[in-house]
Amino acid sequence: MLQLLSRLSVMKKQTPQISIFFLTTLLKGVFQKYPVEFAYLFGSYAQGSVGPLSDLDIAVYLRYDLSAAKKDEIVGQIRGEVEALLHLPDKIDLVLLNQELPPALERSIVYDGKLLYVKNDSTRVYFEADAICRWLDWQPHHNRLMQEILTS
């Protein structure tokens, strides 16, 4: 038992605890270099439940007039810079909000996420309102599916 606790202690030390203030400050420079309209932190880091297998979940909304290929290129560049800056290779999950996402994921980002960066607040507000509407439209289906899963 003591050996297991010792291993868990080592694993916890290997999982960086990054404050949202620190991330906001550090990543602002990265986001400003690209056409990022706004960005969220979501997932375990946003909820304060970081574990040894946690990755850093970031969602970005890029300027709407960019091609899909350009957006993909920028997402890759941002991911690479964030990994290098935070010394977290292969631990960054960067989600592009400009694409169609599951309503439950959008809901999680909007409701539970932490805003890291805002360049265009009106675009952010429009996105949030649209995401909430999609979730409210989809929620009855989600609830029915969950009920079916629980009863089967």
The answer to whether residue 134 is domain-embedded is yes
CATH classification at residue 51: 3.30.460.10
The answer to whether residue 82 is domain-embedded is yes
Split into its structural domains, the chain has a count of: 1
Domain hosting 113: range is: 10-151
pLDDT tens for 93-147 read 999 999 999 999 999 999 999 999 999 999 999 999 999 998 888 777 776 877 8
Question: Environment class of residue 89 by beta-carbon count within 10 Å: exposed (0-12), middle (13-18) or buried (19+)?
Answer: exposed
Q: Give 128's contacts (C-beta < 8 A, 6+ positions apart).
A: 110
Q: Residue 144 has which token pair?
A: 């029915």
The answer to whether residue 4 is domain-embedded is no
The answer to whether residue 117 is domain-embedded is yes
Q: Give 91's contacts (C-beta < 8 A, 6+ positions apart).
A: 54, 55, 56, 83
The answer to whether residue 64 is domain-embedded is yes
Q: What's the predicted TM-score (pTM) here?
A: 0.80
What value does the mean pLDDT of the chain take?
86
